[in-house]
Amino acid sequence: MTTTPVRDTTAQDRQNPWSRPEFEERLRDIATTRYHDRHAFNVRMHEGALTPAELRRWIANRFHYQRHIPVKDALILAKFEDPALRRMWLRRIVDHDGVREGEGGIERWLRLGEAAGLDRERLWSAEDVLPGVRLAVDGYVNFCRLRSPLEAVAASLTELSAPGIMRTRIAAFELHYPWIEAEGLAYFRTRVEQGSRDSAEALALVERWALTREEQERAVAALAFKCDVLWSLLDAVDGAGEGP
């Protein structure tokens, strides 16, 4: 019996980083093909097929994700040695927490909830948050806590697809769910611009930091993980209607 010597292309490939355009294309590909806008629940949302109860369930559960955004961003900020980088990332915390009471993305999400008939106190209580959603959010926060700055920042690159989903969502809500007051959609409107700016900044960092093929692969895997977080959140919300 003979063994055919094979060239270990994998090991050799790892020595050769992708070109910057190829790396960026791979990131954008993940951010497109694995993004949660393709999830059945999201498709139904944008087609106008959700019942009011389903829409409220999504808003309450997604709030659990929203309120933890500044937490994960503070954990990322704590990884940066450079004050200029910290200043840049700090703005994300301000975007969500606001400069003062009554401002910021978390407040806007609460108003979306109220426009859909949900109680603010109840949203804060997290009573209606499903186990799968808790696990997804914990998983993401811990990823940002424990992984490298490169991976934590790469995970944020789902923002590459955020402006698109926000625009579609605003149109879908206005058309299909007129019982939600237009003012309630302020969160989505604000994120169109913030998402574009955030993803451009994060992409520049990831491209600057991921110099070896191994680092590039880690960045792609981090982004795929983050897509799984968002997908899994919708799985939990989608499945909840069937009961345990």
Q: Which residues bind its own copies (CB under 8 A)?
A: 67, 70-72, 74-75, 77-78, 80-81, 83-84, 86-87, 90, 93-94, 96-101, 104, 106-107, 145
Angle ∠(38,39,44) on CA atoms, nearest 5: 95
Nearer residue to its own copies within complex by CB, 105 or 184: 105
Residue 37 or 128: which CB sits closer to its own copies? 128
C-alpha to C-alpha distances, 238 to 56, 72, 86, 127, 133, nearest whole angstrom:
12, 25, 37, 17, 11
Q: Which is nearer to its own copies, 143 or 173 (CB)?
A: 143
Residue 90: CB minimum distance to its own copies, A: 6
The neighbour count for residue 86, using CB atoms within 10 Å, is 14
| Torsion angles phi and psi, residue 127, rounded to 5 | -60, -35
What letter represents residue 175's amino acid? L
Q: How far is the CB of 215 from its own copies (least distance, A)?
A: 23
| Closer residue to its own copies, CB minimum distance, 7 or 100 | 100
Rounded to a whole number of angstroms, the minimum distance from the CB of residue 67 to its own copies is: 8
On whether the CB atoms of residues 89 and 76 are closer than 8 A, the answer is: yes
Task: Give the C-alpha separation, 216 to 13, whole Å.
Answer: 12
